[in-house]
Structure 1
């Protein structure tokens, strides 16, 4: 997370006037963040329809044939590689070295980054939109905000844009609140008008008389980001109507046998994710040896096409639509087929993220977890389907993201009710013990995994 020198000191508790002044910029940033997401998704959707439906139909070719999958993903790699090579800003930093919320990139980089992300999403690459959209929204909010209020701290715009994008991605501010709780606890409040930087630009009132001495509360810190997250979530719901509900069967409540099953499945998901984490720097190093972005991303596209042939068309794309199809008729696939899809999707995500495709790793991880959970239910039908799926998603996300609250939230919203929450909370404990202190699925400038 970026730290601005103007926010280096710990501010006093915030008063209502300061928080109210943040409401309008938070609303604007949240709505704008959602519109950027919706726009990129719409562009990617049109490209997907053209590449995977209209064009093969016009050519009399099966859209999911092995040759077509290999050809489209190879071509996608070539085009994205050219964007990374030739477009100003090179579509942002190496995606293997970035997380979900990062310091602002130059605003000139945003067009190339969004173009590369849209091409990858439409071309069937196994990455989600979250990382590039969040980076673009942070860059735009920071660029605009610092011009409207030059004295405002950088962290203010990073937190508003990050929260607004996360709210838009999930259609609710809850996910943003949970992530920010982990991110901002112990940090200074990034608020204009605080005592670390003097009066709010454009005002003559000076410090908020309603402010009190002492540390700001957690809700002071989260107030403006939650406004942005709420605005982003509501905008997405009104326009795009997103849903993570997989229409899983109702869970009747925990039984004695559910606890060991939940512990085992969440731990298996965490271990599978950790295997990918440990492979991450090696695949990155292999692609870096090619030495040129066009060669790197094109080679990645070829490998993704081969994996798509191996795992089937459901292992392509970010995975949100595909996971619904997977969960709609779980009896359609054997336990072995589901295990293969989980492994193929995870491998595709690693290759895509390390060869240079721009995208995030949360959405494909959900697919991996759902496939793994369905596999567990197929192998042991006595384990309730909903419990198996949600525990597997929980474990995989913990290993990939190292975000405990996000993992719990995402796993819980896949099901129809909250009855599974107590078991999920218990299942999170061994999964966290497995992943905590281990390397992250993110590299430093030296190519080594961060911790």
Structure 2
């Protein structure tokens, strides 16, 4: 029902006065549009589907990755037959791309969220290739496959309903929220991450918030009811008491995290360009990529897979592994992630980035024992990913929920994340400005 408007004033001659301009779509309350209620229904369905599919997909990965068992987490703890397996995974990925006609370069997870669009035609190929990538040991996460399935289904439903652009974007994002509802620790983290990366504005923000909350919450409920567990308290860090100087330490840790984030972005970019320059068939590139991260995995077995379980090993055994090995793990994981993405494997960047950030935090504690392990681990875990994927507040919540450090100790984490985020954004601005100046015609 539209809002009541007073009748137009008339002049002395009885002629109608100038009429006000018609209201725009943003002037109409969201709840008074018919599409809004369609979006709510679609969000609920996407939440149920996302929870069930997320459970199945994670179970499938757990089953497929059962071959991964190392003799020790230290140097040369892997097995050389891993290289044959990872090379075979590259071959399978090349064949799957050919069979599904999937392009060698497909939009990444961040691009999907920013564009608020997932091409449904690419979803089958992305799902198959990503499954083979993750089972084959690539240093990638499951969030790309889950997001593509949920977002692609949302895009298809919106097209069937003939929703407008805002409605299609909101439905796509709610589909991705449903896919992530059980993957992360809380629906709050999922919604915050989607809003930070997608950055919907105007009336769309309300649609995205409401539909994402519904979808992620229903998915979380389905996932938890069946699995009985989520990522809460995943990483048990030693408790530490808050001190005021931790605030300054958080800023310094944030600057270090920005360097790690920038180095990660550089390695991923350079790796992609190197594989692009290879004058070889795409299937050969995937095989080469599989061999490369397989060899690194034999030397450093903790660089394999998504990094979730491997980070727990680093956290518990960091002092035994030693500063040198832990520092090398940070760089090696960056390389395997860049090789995996550049050679045609498909997966998400968030989970391997969490390993990089958390491991860098352990290395910082080993280098500076005066900094509590709980502080360095949590700050770097959140700040590296927050700067790399531009989702600072979502990563603060994720770090706080998965480590259970307490509300008071979250303050230095927040300072570390925002310092990393602002620093990375400033560097990107300066580089872009320099590039524009170089491209400008000289007079």
Q: Same fold by TM-score, threshold 0.5 exceeded?
A: yes
Structure 1 distance, partners of 2:423, 2:362, is 22
Q: Per-residue displacement from partner, 1:376-429 (whole Å, max 9, x unpaired)?
A: 111222211110001111221123212212222222223222231111122234
CA distance in 2, matches of 1:109, 1:361: 19
What RMSD, in angstroms, separates the aligned Cα atoms of the two structures? 2.8
Give the direction of change, closer, same or farther, for the CA distance of 1:97–1:392 in structure 2 (3 Å limit). closer
User: 1:371 maps to what in 2?
Assistant: 359
Give secondary structure in 2 for the equivalent of 1:365: helix
SS of the residue 2:403 aligns to: coil
Q: 1:87 aligns with which of 94, 97, 100?
A: 100
Q: Which residue of 1 aligns with 2:19?
A: none
- 1:430 has 2:382 as partner: no
TM-score norm. by structure 2 comes to 0.81
Equivalent residue number for residue 160 of structure 1 = 174
- Provide, for residues 140-184 of structure 1, a one-character-per-residue CA deviation record: whole Å limited to 9, x for no partner: 12213432x234531131121122223232142111221243356
- The CA deviation string for residues 314-341 of structure 1, in whole angstroms up to 9 with x for no partner, is 2110011111222233322211111111
Q: Distance in 2 between matches of 1:278 and 1:91?
A: 21
Q: Look up the match of 1:33.
A: 50
1:358 aligns with one of 333, 346, 352 = 346
More displaced, 17-26 or 116-125? Answer: 17-26
Match of 1:67 among 80, 87, 100: 80
For the residues of structure 2 that align with 1:437 and 1:111, how far apart are their CA atoms?
Answer: 38
Give the equivalent residue in structure 1 for 2:328: 340
Task: Say which structure is richer in helix.
Answer: 2
2:177–2:215 Cα contact (<8 Å) kept: yes
List aligned pairs for 1:43-442, cutoff 5 A.
43-49=60-66, 51-52=67-68, 65-90=78-103, 93=106, 95=108, 98-100=111-113, 102-147=115-160, 149-151=161-163, 153-183=167-197, 187-190=201-204, 221-240=208-227, 241-245=229-233, 246-256=235-245, 258-290=246-278, 291-310=280-299, 312-416=300-404, 417-439=406-428
Separation of aligned partners in 2, 1:227 and 1:370? 31
Task: Tell me: CA distance 1:131–1:184, structure 2 relative to 1, closer, same or farther (3 Å).
Answer: closer
Quote the Cα distance in structure 1 between the aligned partners of 2:92 and 2:27. 48
* Whole-Å separation in 1 of the counterparts to 2:123 and 2:409: 41
The one-character-per-residue Cα deviations of 1:43-80 (angstroms, maximum 9, x if unpaired) are 2222111x336xx99xxxxx953412222222212211
Q: 1:302 to 1:141 in 2, by over 3 A?
A: same
Indicate conservation of the 8 Å contact 1:164/1:232, yes or no: yes
Unaligned stretches of 5+ residues in structure 2: 1-23, 430-443
* Paired residue secondary structure (2:174): helix
**CA separation in 1, counterparts of 2:413 and 2:68?**
37
Deviation at 1:106, TM superposition (A): 3.9
The size of the alignment, in residue pairs, is 395
CA–CA distance in 2 between the matches of 1:84 and 1:277?
Answer: 26
Contact preservation (8 Å) 2:250, 2:379? yes
Relative to 1, partners in 2 of residues 1:185 and 1:392: Cα closer, same or farther, differing over 3 Å?
Answer: closer
Deviation at 1:11, TM superposition (A): 5.1
Change (3 A) 1:185 1:121: closer
1:15 lines up with 2:28 in the alignment: no
Distance of 2:137 and 2:272 partners within structure 1: 20
Q: Distance in 2 between matches of 1:138 and 1:83?
A: 21
- In 2, distance between residues paired with 1:336 and 1:266? 22
**TM-score, normalised with respect to structure 1:** 0.80
Contact 1:126 1:315 in 2 (8 A): yes
Q: Secondary structure at the match of 1:47?
A: helix
Cα 1:174–1:16 shift into 2, 3 Å: farther
- Secondary structure (helix, strand or coil) at the match of 2:141 reads coil
